[in-house]
Chain A
Amino acid sequence: MNKKVKVALAVLAVMLLAVPIGLLTDAPAWGEWDNDYYKKVLGFIPKGMEKFHSFINPILPDYSLPGTNDVVGYYVSAIVGAILVFAIWFIIGKILAKKHSNN
């Protein structure tokens, strides 16, 4: 394996292990509040925000696994997310390889 990949994978492993550090704050990001925040601050929820509020039910909402504690949920989310990222590139690699061999 390429040495750069080895180094990058080592960084990935360290970050994966350390990922619960990200749970030390539960403060939301600025401009990413839930609708009840607007109810509290403005006294109302803007109509469009209420109407178009989330289309889908995520499997791991807010990087948590319903029914488990925060740390477990965060680890599961980190692993699932990392695997999905690799999976997308794997699929793209396959598509590109096919295209190259067709040429």
Chain B
Amino acid sequence: MHIPDGYLSPTTVAVSYAIMIPLWAYGFKKLKEKLDEKTLPLLGTLSALSFLIMMFNVPVPGGTSGHAIGTALIAIMFDPWIAFMAVSFVLLIQAVVFGDGGISTWAVNSFDMAFIAAFVGYYTFKYLKDKTKFAPFIAGWLSINVAALSDSIILGIQPIFWHDAAGHPLYFPFGLSVAIPSMMIAHLFVFGVVDGAFTQIVYSFLQKRAEQKIKEEVAI
């Protein structure tokens, strides 16, 4: 889902920054409200986990691979705005230091993997947490799938709008009918399951610890 430079038309890039800059500004305001020295160590660690889980490439049939993103975990442990900012930072580091995802496409990548994934993950969990113990799994699974859908639509519209007189695409060449199924099948059945499992497992580790601590405090 890390769209490289050159894949999106300058118009797409301009629109994406016009949307994302106010969202980042608002997100930064939210950080000011919600963060303090007590929450920062856990947030830093979960952000580093998001960076690391994205290095676990999983192959799928068809000669491609993919990975989980770990955005939902941060969203359900903290807040969707904080998760959005955290994963945006992770994506910036990936683009600048590792060449994973472009600079011009940082806004689109942040919209998909940070913004959409954080809000879908957070509200899915919120809605399901009292209904099923698998709420973290479903939140992780759904969050990356909606992000992948958005990514495939943004890629898939490129050849529709931006081509030369001969009909040759100028940017990403494959249309919606190729991009959506290719992205979604792999995410619905593989990467979504990995993200769901990651969210569920780490969430239950963290909650178990928290409950133990409460029990110990009550016992004292």
Contacts and interface: CB of A to CB of B under 8 A. Distances in A.
A67 interface: no
Contact of A86 (B9, B44, B64): B44
A55 B102 contact: yes
Contact of B3 (A21, A32, A85, A88): A32
B103 A53 contact: no
Contacts of B104: 52, 55
Contacts of A58: 96-99
A92 B152 CA distance: 32
Interface in B2-59: 2-7, 9, 31-32, 35-38, 40-49, 51-53, 55-59
Interface of A: 1-9, 11-12, 15-16, 18-19, 21-25, 27-32, 35, 38, 42, 44, 46-63, 74, 77-78, 80-82, 84-86, 88-90, 92-93, 96-97, 99
A66 to B, nearest CB: 12
Contacts of A49: 6-7, 170-172
Interface of B: 1-7, 9, 31-32, 35-38, 40-49, 51-53, 55-60, 62-67, 86, 89-90, 93-94, 96-100, 102-104, 151-152, 155, 162, 164, 168-174, 179, 182-183, 186, 202, 205-206, 209-210, 212-213
Given A4-B206, A52-B5, A96-B32, A38 B173 contact: yes
Given A9-B45, A80-B97, 9 more contacts: A27-B64, A29-B65, A31-B182, A54-B102, A57-B99, A62-B99, A81-B48, A84-B93, A85-B93
Given A21-B56, A59-B97, A27 B172 contact: no
Contact of B53 (A15, A35, A44, A50): A15
Contact of B103 (A7, A30, A56, A97): A56
Q: Is the interface of A mostly helix, strand, loop or mixed?
A: helix
A56 B210 contact: no
